[in-house]
């Protein structure tokens, strides 16, 4: 209960500190934090220690890679406000949380987070903060690190396979 309380307080402080120009931008700002917070909160609720470690690895790698690219690529934002457009940190954060839920707990639990992550990307483009390419790469970064570090906590596992001459899906069953 204490951990949940800390998360709620953090979210409230974050939301009240937002300086957004529109509802669209504000909702994207909130979802970029709420989706991964939900993923992490699920590991706390289920007392999933292995999931917590995997979340730290996948989310930490997502944030580190996103920030490293922002500070090395230096792409100007569509609205001209800064040179940290590429890739979208909001989108990488949102997709990291959604794909964590998908891989760790199952696709049926990730449908809503994925829809919210797509909407987060939309808000970044609609608010003129990112180009579509920034959002796509941000989403790919978030998903890639989840696929790299997160293992399934379910009996069935779906794994995408992308090779030079083959693209498919591997379905595994854990006994």
One pLDDT digit (tens) per residue for the chain, 175 residues: 566 656 665 655 555 555 546 787 888 889 999 999 999 999 998 889 999 999 999 999 999 999 999 999 999 999 998 999 999 999 999 999 999 999 999 888 899 999 999 999 999 999 999 999 999 999 999 999 999 999 988 655 556 677 888 777 666 655 6
| Tokens linked to 140 | 């790919």
pTM exceeds 0.95, yes or no: no
Altogether, the residues listed in the chain come to a count of: 175
CA angle 149, 33, 71 (to 5 degrees): 75
Task: State which residues form the domain around 79.
Answer: 2-173
Provide the domain count of the chain.
Answer: 1
DSSP code, position 162: E
């Amino acid at each position: 209960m204490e951990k949940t309380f800390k998360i709620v307080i953090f979210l409230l402080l974050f939301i009240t500190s937002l300086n957004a120009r529109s509802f669209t931008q504000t909702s994207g700002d909130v979802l970029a934090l709420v989706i991964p917070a939900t993923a992490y909160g699920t590991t706390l609720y289920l007392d999933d220690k292995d999931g917590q470690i995997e979340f730290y690895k996948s989310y930490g790698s997502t944030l580190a890679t996103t920030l490293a690219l922002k500070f090395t690529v230096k792409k100007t934002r569509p609205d001209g406000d800064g040179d940290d457009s590429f890739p979208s940190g909001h989108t990488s954060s949102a997709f990291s949380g959604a794909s964590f839920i998908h891989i760790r707990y199952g696709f049926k639990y990730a449908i809503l987070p994925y829809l919210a992550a797509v909407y987060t990307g939309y808000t970044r483009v609609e608010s003129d903060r990112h180009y579509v390419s920034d959002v796509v790469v941000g989403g790919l970064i978030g998903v890639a690190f989840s696929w790299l570090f997160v293992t399934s906590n379910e009996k069935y596992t779906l794994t995408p396979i992308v090779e030079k001459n083959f693209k498919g899906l591997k379905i595994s069953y854990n006994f």
